[in-house]
Amino acid sequence: MLVVTKFGGSSLSCATQFAKVKKIVEADAKRKIVVVSALGKRDTSDTKITDLLYILHAHLKYGVPYEDIWEMISSRFLKIKSELNLSYDIKSDLNSLEKELNKSIPEDYLVSRGEYLTAKLMSDYLGYTFVDAKDLISFHYDGKIDYALTEKKVRLAFSEYGIMVVPGFYGAYPNGSVKLLSRGGSDVTGSILAKCLNVSLYENWTDVPGILAADPRIIENPKAIKEITYEELRELSYMGANVLHEETVFPVQSLNIPINLKNTNDPEHPGTLIKNVCDDKVDLVTGLAGKKSFVSFNISKNHMSNEVGFLRKALTIFEKYQVSVEHIPSGIDTFSVVVPYSEIEKSQYEIITELKNTLEAEVSLDDDIALLAIVGRNMAGKKGLCGLIFQTLGEEKVNVKLLAQGPSELNIIIGVSQKDYEIALKSLYQKLLA
Ligand code: ASP
């Protein structure tokens, strides 16, 4: 049994956090592959090393004095080395990097040094072998991961070293130059390693008690979800729940490797388990999420329902303007096309004119829509849930503008006016989850 264990930046912000990580890793011999982000914030006013490195790069590029930022970066690494009494000669690595600082240093390379140096400190501290991500995570030149090559390299490294620390967030092109994943990408590194070694569990350690059942900025102390399926997580993340990097699930999902989201500051807490099938039937609703700033093109025409190809003609226009369509609620001689405002910001008038001319229909735009998703694997086939939702919203005098439910009954999407979004979310949370 093998576990890939990934720690986020807040779990690595200072020597005290490093000590917690060591305790966690040593508590279970299966934790043989450790992936780290770069040093994160020590408190809310602090800056992540990755952000400092991006700023450093901008200063170098535009020829602005950069010495203070470099000092902030290097002193954070040096402090951890000295506080933990490590033998790793980070000073000489920092000195060589300092010599490389110039106008044309590649951004990806410079920014990746955050994870690189953090991993080196951690490997010394844990007594695990440091294995550079650029020698494992391999990209094709089109930016996609070369899984065949990556798997070969990961398996070889693991058979050679047995226990290893790998920096997250980057890999390399075939010519060896460093390429970053997108922001928050250390989650994905962990997931790729978990897939390549077909491990029994991928642990992802952060500073929250797991995936929360609703947005904590709106709901005070929402509960953490105990178990959630990959599909539910996808629905919640898509609708705005901010948890793991959204590409984390894909590598492990096909092999059905569970992800356990855990809190470094409270390791005994079970956190959230993400897997293919969850057997517990306790909660009807798993979580709520939502987003503001949607618009609805409302299209109506007498006897539209008899006109074959009407919908296709309408959707072709959205396709022409490269707008990705979210929902299409329909009536008999009317339907609406719901899209994020950001998608039509520049083309809304052209789209309306084209819809009117091509379809000879009435077209109006409702630009005040917030969407709310009620997600739950146990909702399918359950009677009365929609009744409860409408009753709850009705009691709060919230008007439902649109409603959509996919065939899997995994989620119910409700559209409300943006001013009603918070109250709708709060009342539904109280009724369905509290
Ligand atoms: N350090 C990188 C970031 O801040 C990657 C990560 O933490 O996953 O985005």
Residue pLDDT, tens place only, 335-364: 999 999 999 999 999 999 999 999 999 999
Ligand 1 centroid to Cα of residue 146, in Å, is 21
Q: Is 184 in the pocket of ligand 1 (CB under 6 A)?
A: yes
Q: How many CA atoms lie within 13 A of 125 on its CB side?
A: 30
User: What pLDDT is recorded for position 95?
Assistant: 98
Report the 10 Å Cβ neighbour count for 365.
Answer: 16
Selected residue with higher pLDDT from 417 and 384: 417
d(C-alpha 58, C-alpha 63), whole Å:
8
169 CA: nearest ligand 1 atom: 5
Tokens 């590194």, residue located:
189
Q: Is 32 in the pocket of ligand 1 (CB under 6 A)?
A: no
**% the chain with pLDDT above 70:** 100
User: What pLDDT is recorded for position 177?
Assistant: 98
User: What pLDDT is recorded for position 408?
Assistant: 84
Has residue 99 got a pLDDT over 90? yes
- Candidate from 12, 36, 50, 52 with most ligand 1 atoms within 8 A of CB, to mutate: 50
Measured CA angle at 15 (ends 13, 20), to 5 deg: 85
User: What pLDDT is recorded for position 144?
Assistant: 95
Has residue 257 got a pLDDT over 90? yes
Ligand 1 centroid to Cα of residue 377, in Å, is 31
Ligand 1 centroid to Cα of residue 104, in Å, is 23
Q: Is 38 in the pocket of ligand 1 (CB under 6 A)?
A: yes
9 CA: nearest ligand 1 atom: 7
Give the pairing of strands 400-405 and 259-263: unpaired
Q: Is 9 in the pocket of ligand 1 (CB under 6 A)?
A: yes
User: What pLDDT is recorded for position 155?
Assistant: 98
185 CA: nearest ligand 1 atom: 8
Domains of the chain, earliest start first: 3-207 (3.40.1160.10), 287-432 (3.30.2130.10)
The predicted model gives 255-283 an average pLDDT of 92
Confidence of residue 123 (pLDDT cuts 50, 70, 90): very high
183 CA: nearest ligand 1 atom: 9
48 CA: nearest ligand 1 atom: 4
The predicted model gives 153-171 an average pLDDT of 98
User: What pLDDT is recorded for position 229?
Assistant: 95
DSSP assignment letter at 127: T
The predicted model gives 378-405 an average pLDDT of 92
Is residue 297 within 8 Å of residue 355, measured between CB atoms? yes
Ligand 1 centroid to Cα of residue 102, in Å, is 23
The predicted model gives 25-50 an average pLDDT of 97
The predicted model gives 370-378 an average pLDDT of 95
Ligand 1 centroid to Cα of residue 318, in Å, is 35
Is residue 388 within 8 Å of residue 285, measured between CB atoms? no
Q: Is 37 in the pocket of ligand 1 (CB under 6 A)?
A: yes
Nearest CA to 285 out of 211, 209, 415, 374 is that of: 374
User: What pLDDT is recorded for position 69?
Assistant: 98
Confidence of residue 237 (pLDDT cuts 50, 70, 90): confident
Confidence of residue 241 (pLDDT cuts 50, 70, 90): confident
User: What pLDDT is recorded for position 306?
Assistant: 86
Q: Is 50 in the pocket of ligand 1 (CB under 6 A)?
A: yes
The predicted model gives 237-247 an average pLDDT of 84
49 CA: nearest ligand 1 atom: 1
Nearest CA to 286 out of 228, 204, 230, 333 is that of: 228
What average pLDDT is seen over the chain? Answer: 95
Has residue 302 got a pLDDT over 80? yes
The predicted model gives 324-345 an average pLDDT of 94
Residue nearest to atom 5 of ligand 1 (CA): 184
Has residue 379 got a pLDDT over 80? yes
Selected residue with higher pLDDT from 22 and 235: 22
Report the 10 Å Cβ neighbour count for 215.
Answer: 18
Is residue 250 within 8 Å of residue 193, measured between CB atoms? no
Q: Is 185 in the pocket of ligand 1 (CB under 6 A)?
A: yes
189 CA: nearest ligand 1 atom: 8
3-state SS, residue 85: coil
Distance, CA of 386 to chain centre: 29
Distance, CA of 118 to chain centre: 22
User: What pLDDT is recorded for position 256?
Assistant: 95
d(C-alpha 419, C-alpha 430), whole Å:
19
Angle between helices 107-126 and 49-61 (to 10 degrees): 150
Confidence of residue 433 (pLDDT cuts 50, 70, 90): very high
User: What pLDDT is recorded for position 415?
Assistant: 96
User: What pLDDT is recorded for position 242?
Assistant: 78
Has residue 407 got a pLDDT over 90? no
Q: Is 168 in the pocket of ligand 1 (CB under 6 A)?
A: yes
Nearest CA to 269 out of 356, 217, 314, 209 is that of: 209
d(C-alpha 401, C-alpha 379), whole Å:
22
Has residue 279 got a pLDDT over 80? no
- Burial of residue 207, with CB atoms counted within 10 A of its CB: 0-12 exposed, 13-18 middle, 19 or more buried: middle
Q: Is 40 in the pocket of ligand 1 (CB under 6 A)?
A: no
The predicted model gives 56-69 an average pLDDT of 97
